[in-house]
Amino acid sequence: MNPRYKALFEPIKIGPVTAPNRFYQVPHASGMTESNPRVRAAFRATKAEGGWGVVCTGAVSTHPSSDDSPLPFARLWDDNDVRSHALVTDAVHEHGALAGVELWHGGAAVMNRTSRISPYSPSGIPWAATHVGFMGLQKPRIMDKSDIRDVIKWQVAAALRARSAGFDIVYIYAGMGYLGYQFLMPETNQRSDEYGGSVAKRTRFARELIEATKEAVGDTCGVALRISLEELRGRPSDHYESQAHEVVSLLSDVPDLWDVKMDSSPTDCGASRFRPEGAHEPVIDFVKQCTAVPVVGVGRFTSPDSMVSQLNRGVLDLVGAARPSIADPFLPNKIAEGREDDIRECIGCNICIASWHDGVPIRCTQNATIGEEWRKGWHPERVTKNVTNESLLVIGGGPAGLEAALIAARRGYDVMIAEAATEFGGRVNFEAQLPGLASWGRVTDYRMNALKQMPNVQLFPANRLQADEVLEIGACNVAIATGSSWTRHLYSSLELPVNELNGPNVFTPDDFAAGRWPSAGPVLVFDFDNYYLGGVCAEALSKHGLKVHYATPAGHASAWTIMTNEQPYVHQALAHNGIELSTLTLLDSFDGEHAVLSDLFSSETRRIDAAAVVIVGMRLPADDLYHQLLEREAEHAQAGIHTLQRIGDARAPGAIAHAVYSGHEYARQLGDTEHALYLRDLPITEHEPGPASVN
């Protein structure tokens, strides 16, 4: 270990328990509930095995009145839930780490769609969400004092269950718009009793939750307060630097640990495109000055130098992480072993967060094994060795090809990678040069760094192989990872790609990647891909000095980025760059000087000036070589080819995360004659289901 990182490995007390080091996997959503307890246990256990000193759950509901369905959320409502969570704590303890549980009541921020209980709220103020997945017609009830006592009672009951399940740290949650936060904020707390009004009164609910939890389990469990401070930090206080300073000072040493964060998911878990490493520090840097108990916070820390800087400068006592612990569960161990260059760094794409919005177990662009530890037996650092002494030819050195090559090489295959371009990386090479996407280059950097050190890997850049050459090479296995191509298809009112728009001034992102950009504006970017690339291309064109108009049939720019917390900032970026925006809009025609647009619903048309059009819409696999080889299948045996498969975008275009997963899955299964899709997890039902009561 590099001695300058020694401080990261010092133990620290959190109330009655001691964390073995300063690596703290803060609570974060995983999409894993009591429906898949074994998947969840293996997922958290892998982080403990990788050296995280504390491993926490995501939000765990204390009562049916905190019901986030259809989004996945965990529960501690009965004995079956206790046993389900015990799988996690047992697995985490096996590796010497502490287990933390984020007990949570959503208040008015949940719709209680399944329980059908009116949401709880300090003053009946609803959360007017703009994300359809969070919208609901049921408005909240105004809590009376008996409701407050009930919520505290449910917190205590859940804390006792948490201790029975084996948790070492128990949370109170007063952040991210949930019930504890709703009491702290004057917009949602308009009460005139002892729970509303002044900052001290608005803090009372959180204090009572902490004190009741400590009384119940504080002799054996650390009690943590997770709190959002962004809005409070910006609000004046009569006697303190800000209301955030006042709240922390009033509750100073009441909890055993402060877990400090931002107020909304887009600011708390900002994508790297808009938020740098350590972006939380200007908001939470004061907390340690106001309390003697430990403080943990996050900042998408991927560099050990950034981590140790937080400790040495007195910003944090424990380095919190969610996304970096997903991208590389073994990050702490690699630092301990002096292998910082082997860290699989988070790229900040937020595909992990999108997984939760999708209601599925967590996914990661950098780490294809995440969520598959139990289902498929995939370990992030170990693979099954190849015993057949076979070779693999990977054609295409993009995300899928590099991942397939890396995993196959680790398994012991002799691997050759042929890439048509002069540099490996595929689409990542181009996209990482676009505004805000530099961190995405880590997808290539991590894999190339590993491959270059492996004696059983041969790299062949600037090699565009033809079918004859593939047959002559004599590789036992051939993986076609030749990517995909953007088309010039338009979009119909039936929400389907239709006939192509061709012409000398009609571009796609493939043209940009090849160095062909519009030379004059105005430029119309027509985007129905709906992810990041249309908006980023519009930004890039604007930065080239061209006037840009962005149009999309969706209701927002880069509409799917609401799943990755980017959407507010996409709109801000377009506005900042002076880019005109048209939503719910179709592109009908383009004559080289003007484009005709129509309203998606009304079909009303209008004409705008446009010297060029960029279509970011549909992709098709670039799989000609695969089909050429397939047509010559009779020659495979003589050429020594046992298997021929497409992987990544050459099989089915998708996000970079899909390409990496495809390459990983291919290499893991290489040589298997039979394989199951995955193990099916089931809930634990050792006890007969019981009633869920409001009181």
The set of catalytic residues is 178
Contact 321, 284 (CB under 8 A): no
In the chain, % helix, strand, coil (3-state, to 5) comes to 35, 20, 45
DSSP label of 109: G
| Structural contact between residues 61 and 74, judged by C-beta atoms closer than 8 angstroms | yes
Query: Cis (ω within 30 of 0) for the bond into 522?
Result: yes
If you write DSSP's letter for every residue of 338-405 in order, what string do you get?
T-GGG--------HHHHHHHHTSS---SS-TTTT-TTTT---SS--PPP-S--EEEEE--SHHHHHHH
How far is 460 from 415, CA to CA, in rounded Å?
11
Which positions ≥6 away from 617 have C-beta within 8 Å? Answer: 486, 487, 489, 490, 491, 497, 526, 527, 528, 529
How many of the other CB atoms lie within 10 Å of CB of 628? Answer: 13
d(CA 55, CA 49): 10
- Among the listed residues 647, 116, 87, 564, the one whose alpha carbon sits nearest the alpha carbon of residue 357: 564
DSSP annotation of 221 reads: S
Q: How far apart are CA 351 and CA 675, in angstroms?
A: 27
Which 8-state DSSP code applies to residue 217?
H
| β-pairing verdict for 74-75 and 54-61 | parallel
Place of tokens 């919208």: 135
Per DSSP, 3 falls in state: G
- Cis check: omega of the bond before 3, within 30 degrees of 0: no
Distance set, CA 682 to CA 46, 420, 530, 608 (Å): 20, 46, 35, 56
Q: How far is the C-alpha of 556 from the C-alpha of 142, rounded, in Å?
A: 34
Token pair, residue 173, equals: 């949650």
Q: Is residue 230 helix, strand or coil? A: helix
The amino acid that residue 84 corresponds to is: S
* Closest C-alpha among 148, 130, 134 to residue 204: 148
Cα 440 to Cα 216, 300, 342, 348, 431: the distances in Å are 46, 14, 16, 8, 8
Strand order in the sheet with 585-590: 585-590, 594-599, 605-609
Render 591-619 in DSSP notation, one character per residue.
-SSEEEEEETTT--EEEEE-SEEEEE--E
Q: What type of residue sits at position 620?
A: L
